[in-house]
């Protein structure tokens, strides 16, 4: 075990969100509600919906690739993510 402090830093970030968007107006057409009602109670105006064949790990993989590219750190220099 090392006796020095553990160094950790965020060197880069990435993001990947599904491209399909479901708005409150879309929901209002499906159920008896309005955009205003949903927004007033949740603060949500739209949500991104993953496709049936898209998993959380698919999105995380793309975001991790972006973060790695943004960091400028070679992947072989990483201990863990």
Q: Kindly give, in sequence order, each residue whose CB lies less than 8 Å from that of residue 35, ignoring residues fewer than 6 positions away.
A: 23, 24, 25, 28, 45
Per-residue confidence in pLDDT tens, the chain, 81 aa: 567 887 788 899 999 999 999 999 999 999 999 999 999 999 999 999 999 999 999 999 999 999 999 999 998 988 777
The answer to whether the CB of 44 falls within 8 A of the CB of 30 is no
Q: Is the pTM of this model over 0.75?
A: no
β-sheet bridge partners, residue 46: 23
Q: What are the residue ranges spanned by the domains of the chain?
A: 20-72
């Amino acid at each position: 075990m090392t006796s020095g402090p553990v160094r950790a830093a965020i060197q880069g970030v990435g993001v990947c969100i599904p491209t399909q968007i479901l708005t409150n107006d879309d929901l209002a057409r499906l159920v008896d509600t309005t955009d205003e009602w949903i927004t007033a109670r949740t603060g949500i105006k739209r949500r991104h919906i993953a496709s049936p064949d898209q998993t959380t790990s698919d999105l995380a993989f793309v975001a991790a690739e972006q973060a790695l590219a943004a960091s400028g750190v070679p992947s072989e220099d990483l201990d863990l993510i």
